[in-house]
Amino acid sequence: MPLHDTNYQHWDGTHLGLWQRRLTIARNGLTACLQIKGMRHIVVVCWIGGLAMTATLFLVGQLLVADSIVVQWVGNLNPQLQNFAHTFTTWLEQHPEVSVRTTQDVLFYYFGTLLLPISIFALGMVLPVLITRDLASNAIIIYASKAVSRGDYLLGKFSTAFGLLVLTWLGPVCTAWFVGNLLAPDWRFFWHSRLALFHTLLFGVSSMAILSVLALGVSALSSKEKATPAFWFMWWIIGGVIAPIAMQTKPWLRHVSFNYNLDQIALKVFRLGDDLQIAKENVPIFGSMLSNIRAETMTALNSPPFSGAMIGLLLMAVLAAIVVNKRAKPE
């Protein structure tokens, strides 16, 4: 028996604003994403990666202190490594603004591109939660009949995908940057690594936005819950297979892979070629290591096909937007 009056009662409270309604859609979507089997494990793996990145940054920071335990430990492991550490320390001491930025740029590039496939995988798993289920269950009609527009609905769903990527990608990376620099021996590390953070945010946010739009597009392709993840993974895998093959025959074809395009944008944003060049010039031991890298690899690092990658991704995003516009509405 209910504890209160079961008659209908009018409500005269104050309505929340539009952004809070959009946030409700995003929050609800994200909750549904995290309820998917295995999704929480993926998020934990990504944050363990963030912890590893923090540890790496801590170790690099300790190299600045000449008699630190880390340098001694490295020396005990291998005298050559101790030489390397000393050279590195000297460089860090002499040009901290360049050395910290370059080191963290390289580390964040590798860490970011390591988490990217995990994030793409996670996104593939949650595709049904985005639009597919709403199409299958007609819930899209309910959204359309409430005080939110179609744009609000899509913005909410976009935020769901974006939020998930923050959890699996940008969150761990940015936390690693913050905690890693907090543990560094010098507060100036924060300032010197600002460009590395900027590059991370620029690449991370733009890639996440594009991936979120692509995910919405694929999610709206079908109302069958198994079909949309299948499309996503097929596109990812086939694109990944085509890209290296197309490099030799029809170079434009490699841009069908969104993963390849994102890699090229990462190279352009982080300017990895420049960073390696700086490291080569300042740390002699690096110079000898990097001299073994093939000329084509260095060319690829220095001048990635950025325009092609951007055009490819923009075309994909436009295509996804068309699919969403056509499909994500009440019939």
CB of 133 or CB of 194, closer to another protein: 133
CB of 80 or CB of 138, closer to another protein: 138
3-class SS at 194? helix
Residue pair 276/290 in contact (Cβ under 8 Å)? The answer is: yes
CB of 28 or CB of 80, closer to another protein: 28
CB of 136 or CB of 300, closer to another protein: 136
Return residues touching another protein (CB under 8 A).
2, 4-13, 15-18, 20-21, 24-25, 28, 32, 35, 133-134, 136-139, 141-149, 152, 330
Shortest separation between residue 322's beta carbon and another protein, angstroms = 18
Q: Which of 223, 201, 229, 213 is nearest to 155 (CA)?
A: 213
Shortest separation between residue 138's beta carbon and another protein, angstroms = 4
User: How far, in Å, CA of 6 to CA of 9, rounded?
Assistant: 9
15: left (phi over 0), alpha (psi -120 to 50) or beta: beta
147 DSSP assignment:
T
CB of 14 or CB of 249, closer to another protein: 14
Name 141's Cβ contacts closer than 8 Å, sequence gap at least 6.
Answer: 330
CB of 14 or CB of 291, closer to another protein: 14
User: What are the backbone dihedrals phi and psi of residue 224, each rounded to the nearest 5 degrees, phi first?
Assistant: -100, 125
Shortest separation between residue 3's beta carbon and another protein, angstroms = 9
Shortest separation between residue 231's beta carbon and another protein, angstroms = 20
Shortest separation between residue 20's beta carbon and another protein, angstroms = 8
Shortest separation between residue 285's beta carbon and another protein, angstroms = 56
User: How far, in Å, CA of 275 to CA of 294, rounded?
Assistant: 17
Distance (Å) of CA 92 to CA 96, 106, 108, 215, 283: 5, 15, 18, 42, 10
